[in-house]
A and B are shown apart, each in its own frame.
Chain A
Amino acid sequence: MNIPAVESGQILIHAVLAHELGHALYDKEEVAKGLLPKIKLSEDLVKNLAKAMYENQLKQGNPTPELRLRKQVTQEIAGRVNGWVKELCSDAIGIRLFGPALFFAAGHLLTSFIHMDKTTETHPPPRLRVRLMIRMLKQLYSVEKWRAELQSFSRDWDEVSGGQISGGNAYDQVALETINDAALDLIAEAGSLATPAAKRYTTEKFDNDVGKLAPFFLNHIPPGEIGPYGRGVAVELASIINAGWHVYLCDFETFRKSLHPKDGDTRFTAATKLHELVLKALEISEMKTAWEEARRDSKRGKN
């Protein structure tokens, strides 16, 4: 996923980088080996498409032999399915790593910059990606207990993701029929298995972050370390980003009103302040971790 330059200062959007981490794990764990054989191309769909193409070419008087056409169709569709599954599984791993924050960030970028049904040979339509993310969130998180604002956000996207995916060519349509709901569940499962258990962002973590970290943002305190003096620990990156998103989506007006009038003057200036606080929390967390590592190394005599 690319972050447009105009959005680069908005640190919450950077949650989409979880998708890129997903790519790294997809390759490292060799997910494709186990997953792709389970997602079967329908021979009938391939045969029908090749036949239709053959008849069309026949009318124009210069047909490619039907068997060769079938091979070409299979390659085109298999290429799409392989590429799309890789992207979708990277999303699935991203959801396991960053939880709802990836979905919120992806939703923000999708509404702003990308056509929902646009496909390429390597990338599935965003509508399908949202469909997978929503499906996973419903399975992994207590969505029904979320704040009304979040539920409404998710409901709206659920409706959008359930819509018919239009556009694309005939190969895209067969690839879409191949990656059906059952295939999405296989992808979600493979994504979960590829994510180390200790790194998974769980529903318990989300509830905790919303309850304990988000109030710090509302009081202008970046929650980069948590715990009392002498026992403070670095807060995980995913926790900071999710708490930040929660404030952005649920309590933004409260946050805005709490700022100096110049900072809260417009939604943009207030959002900039929130992004700065989130970034500061990430810096504090990183500093805490790096300092402890350096202290350990200095005790071991390492430089």
Chain B
Amino acid sequence: MILSAEKIRELLKQSGDPAERLVISPLLEERQLKPSTASVDVRLGQRFHVPLRAKLSQLDLLSPTHQADLFKYKDDTFVPIGDHFVLHPGQFVLGETLEWIHLPKNLVAFVIGKSTWGRDGLIIATAIGVHPNFSGILTLEISNVGEIPIYLYPGLAIAQLFLAVVELTAESVTPVPSAFQVQTSPRTRNVEIEDRDIIEVFKKRLEPG
């Protein structure tokens, strides 16, 4: 069940055990929750992780040097509020939400672009799901699929967060924290690629001889 703005407001007002609370902080304006909608607006943060195309010929998730390659490939940029980041057509950067998001164990979230930006050709997230118990800033995978450059202003509402209740059962356990937990800036992570070994077997089978 997707939560209404009113329900989200009610949850944000709750006090008590921090682990059980929904936290979206800082919430700078009450209008981030508009009556009769079903989401809360989140703002663009100040840090960007910018790809350096000239540094690398390709990214290969299965490569043993993948993590080291990512360090070569990305550069960090900080844009203060009031300044802007120019996103050129076809460019892809990692950005962040200004807000820290903490979800209790019974909520899941989906971060989705706002139509005002989308109509200018801005895509703000491709991996949109945020799992229960998540705590951190959200990394936004931002790209400009439009025809002309777009100015990105940190501090402006750039996305909306939809929240839904997760049906728990008696078997539901507190999950191990994810590799993206407690993330304070947009980051790629050296996540263990599941099924890497199996794909490697297939790769070997395709090798001649």
Query: Which residues of A are in contact with B by a Cβ distance under 8 Å?
Result: 215-216, 218-222, 224-225, 228-230, 232, 234, 258-263, 273, 276-277, 279-280, 284, 287-288, 290-291
Contact = CB atoms under 8 A, between A and B. Distances in A.
A230 B6 CA distance: 13
Interface of B: 9, 12-15, 17-19, 23, 25-28, 30, 33, 81, 98, 100, 102, 135-137, 155, 176-179, 181-182, 184, 190
A263 B190 CA distance: 12
A262 B136 CA distance: 16
Contacts of B33: 229
Contact of B9 (A222, A229, A288): A229
Contacts of B176: 260-261
A287 B182 contact: no
Contact of A288 (B28, B30, B184): B28
A225 B28 CA distance: 10
A302 B185 CA distance: 32
A287 B28 contact: yes
A138 to B, nearest CB: 32
A244 B98 CA distance: 21
Nearest to A275: B184
B58 to A, nearest CB: 26
B181 A259 contact: yes
B102 A287 contact: no
Contacts of A230: 9, 13, 27, 30
Given A234-B26, A263-B181, 17 more contacts: A219-B102, A220-B136, A220-B181, A221-B23, A224-B26, A225-B25, A228-B13, A229-B27, A230-B13, A232-B27, A258-B177, A259-B181, A277-B184, A279-B184, A284-B100, A287-B28, A287-B98
Nearest to B182: A220
B135 A291 contact: no
Nearest to A263: B182
Contacts of B178: 260
Contacts of B98: 287
Given A219-B135, A229-B13, A287-B98, A259 B28 contact: no
Contacts of B135: 219-221
A260 B179 contact: yes
B100 A280 contact: yes
Contacts of A229: 9, 12-13, 27, 30, 33
Which of B12, B13, B181, B182 has the most chain A CB within a 10 Å cutoff? B182
Given A220-B136, A222-B100, A228-B13, A291 B179 contact: no
Contacts of A273: 182
Given A229-B12, A260-B178, A262-B179, A284 B25 contact: yes
A276 B47 CA distance: 14
B46 to A, nearest CB: 9
A153 to B, nearest CB: 25
Contacts of A262: 179, 190
A-B residue pairs, 3 tightest by C-beta = A229-B12, A220-B135, A228-B13
Contacts of B137: 280
B18 A232 contact: no
11 contacts: A224-B25, A225-B25, A228-B12, A228-B13, A229-B13, A234-B26, A259-B181, A260-B177, A261-B176, A277-B184, A284-B26
B65 to A, nearest CB: 18
Contact of B102 (A218, A221, A234): A221
A46 B184 CA distance: 58
B140 to A, nearest CB: 17
